[in-house]
Amino acid sequence: MDITWYLVLSALLFAVGAGGVLVRRSPLVILLCLELMLNAGNLALVAFARSSGNEEGQVFALVVMVVAACEVVIGLGLIVAMFRRRLALDVDEMRELRG
Amino acid sequence: MEEIAFFAGAIGALGGAIAVIALRNPFYSVLALIVHLISLAGLFLILYAEFIAAAQIVVYAGAVMVLYLFVTAYVGGVEESIWEPIPGQRFLAPLLAAALFIELSIAVVGTALKAVESTGPTIPADFGSPGSIGELLLERFLVVFEAASMLLLIAAVGAIVLAGRKRERETVPARGAGR
């Protein structure tokens, strides 16, 4: 299999994730779509690591996974805080910074 | 054989991704994302990234997704309103996503990198094994490794600050108001 196949698949997954961020309004699902986009980037990194015969791309993919875990923790913390304050879980209704 | 494995993984990953954005219930979206992550781990295995595939399943599809499931169950099923704040959002957003895909595909297919059009060079037997990745992490990328651990620590503290219950502030005014 050519590496191009993996890169095109990664572009397709990234586009699906971006479309999800634009279409959905629940912050939980938007976080999930962000995960999709980060994973598409990871697939491209691992595919490039294979095409250049060098493991450094895989280390980079690991770092992306760490960053994704941090983003999940902060994002879910924000969602729980919003839920506690009885705010609507809808990103279009959050128009002001004031809690 | 490799083609079959690739297409099985690709169909799983793509189906999971589309299910994440198409399902109405966030709980099912999280389950679809787990399918997506496991299929992606299979693709990583074809690309000789054994350690990344194992980490993907154990850390990502295991731990992180369990966190998601707990929060989704805590918050409960959130119904998305039918009302559209931006007119035409439902048509414009897929159009933008399709344009993004076409643009990325043109960039990938029309690239001048010749190595991309082959199956890749011959690689040593321990390519992507935990040993060689660990050696790289602890020797060449030591600063990156330490920065990642600091980032995880800060994120954990931030999550506790954000989501932790402030007991004193909540109870004191309630008592004053009651009497």
Contact B159, A74 (CB under 8 A): yes
Q: Determine whether the interchain pair B14/A15 forms a contact, defined as Cβ–Cβ distance below 8 Å.
A: no
Inter-chain contact A28–B152, Cβ cutoff 8 Å? no
Q: What is the CATH number of the domain that holds A80?
A: 1.10.287.3510
User: Does A32 have pLDDT greater than 60?
Assistant: yes
Residues A28, A33, A38, CA angle at the centre, nearest 5°? 125
From B133, B155, B159, residue closest to A58, measured CB to CB:
B133
- Is B24 a residue whose pLDDT tops 60? yes
User: Binning pLDDT at 50, 70 and 90, where does residue A60 land?
Assistant: very high
pLDDT at residue A91 greater than cutoff 90: no
User: Quick one: pLDDT at residue A1?
Assistant: 75
Is the pLDDT at A22 greater than 50? The verdict is yes
* B45 phi, psi to nearest 5 deg: -65, -40
Of A14, A31, A43, the CB nearest to B104: A14
Can you tell me the distance from the alpha carbon of A48 to that of B106, in angstroms, rounded to the nearest whole number?
Answer: 17
Predicted confidence band at B176 (pLDDT cuts at 50, 70, 90)?
Answer: very low
CB pair distance less than 8 Å for A65 and B136: no
* d(CA A27, nearest CA chain B) in Å: 10
Average pLDDT over residues B119-133: 82
Residue A8 counted as domain residue? yes
Please report the pLDDT score of residue B167 as a whole number. Answer: 61
Q: Is A42 on the interface with B (CB under 8 A)?
A: yes
How many domains is chain A built from?
1
Residue B119 has pLDDT above 80, yes or no: no
Say if A95 falls within a structural domain: no
Chain B residues with CB-CB distance to A9 below 8 A: 10, 13-14, 43
- To the question of pTM greater than 0.95 for the whole model, the response is no
Q: What are the pLDDT digits (tens) for B63-75?
A: 889 999 999 888 8
Q: Quick one: pLDDT band at residue B86, thresholds 50, 70, 90?
A: confident
- What is the nearest CA distance from B163 to chain A, expressed in angstroms? 5
For residue A10, the enclosing domain spans: 3-84
Contacts of B135 in chain A (CB under 8 A): none
Please give the Cα distance from B43 to B28 (Å, whole number): 23
Cβ separation B81–A25 shorter than 8 A: yes
Residue B120: pLDDT over 90:
no
In a domain, A94, yes or no: no
pLDDT above 50 (res B179): no
CATH topology for B1-78 is Four Helix Bundle (Hemerythrin (Met), subunit A) (1.20.120)
Closest-CA distance, A45 to chain B, in angstroms, reads 10
Chain-wide mean pLDDT for chain A?
88
Question: Could you tell me if A20 lies within 8 Å of chain B, comparing CB atoms?
Answer: yes
**Alpha carbon of B131 to those of B49, B54, B126, B148: distances in Å?**
12, 13, 8, 19
Please give the pLDDT value at position A99: 53
